[in-house]
Structure 1
Amino acid sequence: MTDVTLKYASRAVPRYTSYPTAPHFSSEVGKDVYAKWLSMIDSDTPISLYLHVPFCQSMCHYCGCYTKITQKEKPLQDYADMLVKEVELVASKLPDGQPVSHIHWGGGTPSILPRDAFLRVVNAVKTHFSLTSGMEHAIELDPRTVNPHLAETLAQAGINRASLGVQDFDLKVQEAVGRVQPYDIVKAAVEALRAVGIREINLDLMYGLPYQSRKTIQETVDLTASLDPSRLALFGYAHVPWMKKHQRLIPEDLLPNAAERIALFDDASAALAAYGYEKIGLDHFAKADDPLAVAAHEGTMRRNFQGYTTDEADILIGLGASSIGKLPQGYMQNSPDFAGWVRSVEAGELPIARGLEMDQDDRARATIIMSIMTAYEVNVAAVAEAFSVDLEPLRACYDQLTELLQDGVAERDGDVVRVTHQGRPLVRLVASVFDAYLQTGKGRHSVAV
């Protein structure tokens, strides 16, 4: 930890999984605009699909996702039926056999869907789209739901990458955040997946949780490494109780302070490096031969709503209540109102609640921000030229870099801006300099580290 990192750690900035960020979406983009955008997609252009399943069996106190709690099967069967209808609805707006190069299931807990319901949705996707050779088909999993039967279902569906939420292996920490899952449960889940041929395993860890210490996070990394995942994420807990009221179940006085958060991240990062994992971007780690590490080295790594990714598709179609997608023209989000989403789909209408149509300035700034977030540097003048936008408003952002330059977080050589090695934990702050929406007062964000 450096004094500089500590100085900036508590500043609140977006995570920049998109730009402009979701708080700036509006109802100006609705179903008619979205339908027009879909009609403009070329039949040969590979697209990516994100399927959101907003259900869990219980609520984890730290959760920042849009999800609902259910112990019953009927809501899950009904949701799958609606998801099938939305797949059919979106596909009807696209050329027959639109190629799909990437599928990602998120939630909630996507694996909570009963076997027949899950496969029903998968078969609808296979029927209405053309899945490309070598396509990554990924899913987020709660290890507590994974057993041999589920693993067989996932393999039958064509899943080839699974991401399991571990967060922390210490029992006291798990009890404090409402997610008790002993190491043996996670180990059994990983073994069940590998037994059916799903070998690309991601494990997600979290720092900044109550009762975490430098000792417990080292033990968590040791246990995690013993499971030999190909890729890991080390997310900072975002305490946003004004958005997620259930987070109030976590007493704020138990949360580590800024200095303690930084120490937790630094210790975990060093431990993962010792186990042979390369640090990728802000918060990911991967083995050298993992596709994400390869993409990072080759400069092809991207960042979207799922975080750092190898998905190179420029079109992301969101399916399911609250899901967000992106097309070249801008962003669109399905209704987060569950009943509203159902009503729209049943009526044969695209269930878009809001979005944002991008202009050239948005696109230029998005490119700058994503380059900083993925490659730690950007040639601002080259981006301005590529998007035919005025360079001077972008250069005006350099004034906001002054303090970061003085503190060694970033460096600038003419129009080339770089994040220094010591400044990498603060990469979001450097990116935020070019965010034209940040000062509008819309949205509250989590801390920088």
Structure 2
Amino acid sequence: MNADLLARAGRPVPRYTSYPTAPHFGAEVDAATYAGWLAAVPPDATASLYLHVPFCAELCFYCGCHTTVARGITPLVAYAARLEEEIALVTARLPGRLEVGHLHWGGGTPTMLGNPDFLRLMALLRTRFAVRPDAEIAIEIDPRVMDQAKVDTLASAGINRASLGVQDFDPKVQEAIGRRQSFAETAAVADALRKAGIGAINLDLIYGLPHQTTASVTRTLNDALALEPSRIAVFGYAHVPWMKKHQALISEATLPGPAARLEQAETISCLLNEAGYVSIGLDHFARPGDAMAERAEAGTLKRNFQGYTTDDAPVLLSFGPSAIGALPQGYVQNLPATPHWHQAVARGELPIARGRALTADDRLRRAVIERLMCDLSVDLDAVCAAHGTDAGVFAQELGALAPLIADGLAVREGSSVRVPETARAFTRTVCAVFDAYLAPHSGAAPDAPPAPRRHAAAV
């Protein structure tokens, strides 16, 4: 890919874990709105749960998550107690004890919570919700802060999927991102989890980090494959120091350029496919037979704030600072500052900062973008028919696709739009054409205005 095309195709675009995306949430959706939406949830609805723990033992320089360094156990104990209160506030407004098929602990580092607090929270969730026996109960893990007691706690709490943060095994890269983590300690945690009965192991890797090369990411990937994970997520590093000030600790001179990033992404993808993993959407890979691979094959894969998922529950209830929930009516986001979240919950208030009520056009475009993100193709006629809309509504967008089609980043076949396998890395660029909230047809026309600096490069 030549430099000019890479510059056009790799423009900053959203990650599309929702549509509309979080920058377009507003204060018009507040605690009262959320209370009304909760009360309107059908009693027989299935829900999924997300719990955010905004604490880490130390701050990694590359991190884009909402987290802070915990100074001692006191803030963690107080946080767990307040989380119980928020759960009570939300469930008191629901019409009944909803069935739950997916539960995800994220952060931060959720395993920073004390073992008794974690067990108590899991027991509370099972009391307030009807957690199905076959529910997926997942947690994000930093292998550097695990011990056998923590592994045993997770197993006894019913955790059955663990995502291990790896990012990169190269010592030079680790030094540059402030995260020293050996292969041996990562392998030991994976082994301990499996021995405790937690057999579904995911690994998270990142390309585009300082000092990474195609050779170094190949070595990291080979080490990762030795751990035999069920799934691997490979994210492009988003260098946004104007949003995450600590990323300024990373020298931009050490970051791979766009061409090097693309080569790293394509190399990783090829190696994973050669190892037998199935490509899932933009940046996930799974073993054949894994539920995610089966959903991808069937065209029923979903995408939410945790990335690609097999979860198709219509209600996502999220707890903790900055956590985003989704209901049929729209999205809600909690107060991002932990002290403000604490104060609101202590007052007995739903700690909502903002949200977005969905319009009919939002729902239509969300469906188009989700299918592109999950399947790399979408039948516009079928989606429009399902939403009671004439397919002509996308006439302008189809015109704006022309430059992407000419560049080989998209293919139009009748009423369908498809991202060819060779352009998989640029899927978000194609999705951006259907995003009504970006600059006109962002990612499509070479002379379109630059996207706001809240987004990272497409690759």
TM over 0.5: yes
* Conserved 8 A contact 1:47-1:100: yes
Q: Report the alpha carbon displacement of residue 148 of structure 1 after superposing the two structures with TM.
A: 1.2
Cα drift, residue 432 of structure 1: 0.6
Residue equivalent to 1:230: 230
**Distance apart, 1:71 and its partner CA:** 3.0
Paired residues of 1:24 and 1:442 also in contact (CA < 8 A): no
Match of 2:422, SS? coil
What is aligned with 2:456? 446
Relative to structure 1, is the Cα distance of residues 96 and 109 closer, same or farther in structure 2, using a 3 angstrom cutoff?
same
Structure 1 gaps, min length 5: none
- Shift in Å, 1:407: 1.5
Instruction: Give the equivalent residue in structure 1 for 2:443.
Output: none
Q: Specify the SS of the correspondent of 1:190.
A: helix
**Structure 2 CA distance for aligned equivalents of residues 19 and 355 of structure 1:** 12
Q: Secondary structure at the match of 2:369?
A: helix
In structure 2, the residue matched to 1:408 is 408
Distance in 1 between the 2:207 and 2:272 partners?
A: 14
Query: Do the aligned partners of residues 378 and 202 (structure 1) sit closer, same or farther apart at CA in structure 2, a change above 3 Å counting?
Result: same
Residues 344-385 of structure 1 show CA distances to partners (whole Å, capped at 9, x for unaligned) of 111111110000000100000000000111011112222222
- What residue number does 1:202 align with? 202
Does the aligned pair in 2 maintain the 1:9–1:447 contact within 8 Å? no
Counterpart residue number, 2:100: 100
**1:281 aligned residue:** 281
Structure 2's unaligned 5+ residue stretches are: 441-450
CA contact (8 A) 2:101 2:131 kept: yes
CA contact (8 A) 1:214 1:264 kept: yes
- 1:415-435: per-residue Cα shift (whole Å, max 9, x none)? 211112222111101111000
Does structure 2 conserve the Cα–Cα contact (< 8 Å) formed by 1:54 and 1:68? yes
Which residue of 2 is the match for residue 244 of structure 1?
244
Deviation of the 1:3 alpha carbon: 6.8
How many positions carry a matched residue from both structures? 449
Alignment identity in percent? 49
**How far is 1:75 from its partner?**
0.2
SS at match of 1:366: helix
Whether 2:33 is the aligned partner of 1:33: answer yes
Matched, 1:130 2:140: no
Question: Is residue 82 of structure 2 the alignment partner of residue 82 of structure 1?
Answer: yes
User: 1:7-86 to 2 correspondence within 5 Å?
Assistant: 7-86=7-86
User: What is the Cα deviation at residue 414 of structure 1?
Assistant: 3.2
Instruction: Name the stretch that deviates more: 1-10 or 274-283.
Output: 1-10
Match of 1:378 in 2: 378
Give runs of aligned pairs for residues 294-309 of structure 1, distance below 5 A.
Answer: 294-309=294-309
Residue 359 of structure 1 pairs with residue 374 of structure 2: no
Cα deviations by residue, 1:81-100 (Å, 9 ceiling, x for unpaired): 01011111111111332111
Whether the aligned pair in 1 keeps the contact of 2:12 and 2:453 (CA below 8 Å) is no
2:319 is the counterpart of 1:319:
yes
Work out the CA distance in 2 between the residues paired with 1:83 and 1:73. 15
CA contact (8 A) 1:23 1:442 kept: no
SS class of match (1:154): helix
Give CA-to-partner distance per residue, 1:96-145, whole Å, 9 cap, x none: 32111100010000000010111121111111110013100000010101
Q: Distance in 2 between matches of 1:354 and 1:7?
A: 34
Change in 2 beyond 3 A, CA 1:136/1:125: same
Letter in 2 for 1:346: A
Contact 1:8 1:448 in 2 (8 A): no
Query: What is aligned with 2:158?
Result: 158
Equivalent residue for 2:171? 171
Q: Deviations over 1:283-327 (max 9, x none)?
A: 011110111111111111111000011111121111011100111
**SS at the partner of 1:438?**
coil
1:133-152 correspondence runs (5 A): 133-152=133-152
CA positional deviation for 1:410? 0.9
Q: What amino acid is the match of 1:332?
A: V
Distance 2:284 2:270 in 1: 13
